[in-house]
Amino acid sequence: MELANLTWPEAKEAIARAKVALLPVGSTEQHGPHLPLGTDHLTATWIAREAARRGDFLLLPTVSVGVSPHHRQFWGTLWVEPEVLMAYVMGIARSLAYHGLRKMVFVNGHGGNTPALTDAARRLRDEGIFAFVYVWWRAAEEEIRKALEDGGGHAGEMEASVVWHIAPELVRPEKFPEAAAQAAPAWGKRVHGVEVSYDTIDFAAVGCVGAPTNASPEKGKAILEAAVDKLLQFGKWLAEAPPGDLSPKPHRP
Ligand SMILES: [Zn+2]
């Protein structure tokens, strides 16, 4: 059930039935010369939509701009401060709780959002609203490792494969060689064990970490299926979990 497509009388029934809501949260940020700026929110939305369909969860409208100031030197990247994202998702969660639905999953498609979403979820819990942060590439880590040759990164084999399955018309395979030639081998730049980079451009000239060379839509499909399955299982668990078990424990005697 997709909330934005319902009328309010339909929403009343859908909210009563759903037990769990899914909020896709992504970014609009550079993903190299070969993938669209929308990569993270397209992926989060796809995974959440599939899980909502299969598990009868309530799909909320996607938050498409996240915490991406570290990509700002690349054209088109948009970002908000972490405090803004936190306040925004907490507002969405509280409005849903006002209608009576107090269990939700932040379906996160962008690593830079994770601290803000985690902090928002922790604060909401103190209000009796149970939100959890689902990070698809962490939840399906094992299956992803098996599916790929080179691994994750940023705009590398993993993301190129996933977008290729979701929206093949948005992938530019002819740009893969350019991306691969200048891809950083790992995230960040360390000096004597200290992380000294704040922006992606400090260590990745065209914005890629890991090469997309071995990406394929088939790999993307396998990864997405694993990610949907994890979210489906988690959503079912959350639907059944008694609020008492999810609430903060009382202070010890
Ligand atoms: Zn991404």
Fold of 3-244: Rossmann fold (3.40.50)
pLDDT in tens, 147-191: 999 888 899 999 999 999 999 999 999 999 999 999 999 999 999
Cα dihedral sign, 34-40-45-48: positive
For the segment 183-230, what is each residue's pLDDT rounded down to a tens digit?
999 999 999 999 999 999 999 999 999 999 999 999 999 999 999 999
Distance 9 CA to ligand 1 centre (A): 37
| Spacing, Cα 240 to ligand 1 middle (Å) | 32
Residues 6+ apart with CB under 8 A from 187: 153, 154, 203, 209
Cα 251 from Cα 236, distance rounded (Å): 29
Percentage of the chain beyond pLDDT 90 is: 98
- 3-class SS of residue 13: helix
C-alpha 62/C-alpha 77 separation (Å) is 17
**The pair of three-digit structure tokens given for residue 75, joined into one six-digit string:** 């054209």
Q: How far is the CA of 157 from the centre of ligand 1 (A)?
A: 11
Amino acid (one-letter) located at 248: P
**How far apart are the CA of 101 and the centre of ligand 1, in A?**
30
At residue 155, the pLDDT reads 96
Q: Cα of 159 to ligand 1 centre, how many Å?
A: 7
Q: Are the beta carbons of 163 and 190 closer than 8 angstroms?
A: no
Please tell me the total number of residues recorded for the chain in this structure. 253
In 3D, which of 182, 200, 193, 192 has the Cα closest to residue 111?
200
Q: Give the pLDDT of residue 152.
A: 80
**pTM across the whole model:** 0.97
